[in-house]
Homo-oligomer: A and B are copies of this chain.
């Protein structure tokens, strides 16, 4: 079991032990979230098709590390902005169900505004 709140607690404990809350305003946290997400993306630069698949298998640990960094900021932002991310996710999925009704969206990657 990996409770979401555990992520938050660990991230915040790490942050507070270093007295970093003073730097964690929402804008710089959002900026950090973007920087970490692009580090995930960087793994895929210039790689396509079979080569990409092979790369993913042989670099799973490195990619996992970058995803964990994204998670860190997601957890820290949710905590600081007092967002219940579990509820937010449930709510967003319900919105998405309406934006992308199965009968219209099935097998298409079209954006909901153009469905």
Residues in B neighbouring A106, C-beta threshold 8 A: 17-19
Q: Could you say which of A7, A31, A105 has the most chain B C-beta atoms within 10 Å of its C-beta?
A: A31
Chain multiplicity (copies): 4
Asked whether, in the complex, the Cβ of A67 is within 8 Å of the Cβ of B78, the reply is yes
Asked whether, in the complex, the Cβ of B83 is within 8 Å of the Cβ of A63, the reply is yes
Asked whether, in the complex, the Cβ of A85 is within 8 Å of the Cβ of B67, the reply is yes
What size tier do the contact residues of chain A reach?
35 or more
The A3-41 residues at the B interface (CB cut-off 8 A) are: 3-7, 10-11, 14, 17-20, 22-23, 25-28, 30-38, 40-41
Asked whether, in the complex, the Cβ of A27 is within 8 Å of the Cβ of B48, the reply is yes
User: A residues within 8 Å of B by Cβ?
Assistant: 1-7, 10-11, 14, 17-20, 22-23, 25-28, 30-38, 40-48, 52-53, 56, 60, 63-65, 67-72, 74, 77-78, 81-83, 85-86, 88-93, 95-97, 100, 102, 105-107, 109
A63 to chain B, nearest CB (A): 6
Asked whether, in the complex, the Cβ of A92 is within 8 Å of the Cβ of B68, the reply is yes
Given contacts A38-B35, A69-B92, A70-B37, contact A18 B64 (CB under 8 A): no
What residue in chain B is nearest A40 (Cβ atoms)? Answer: B30
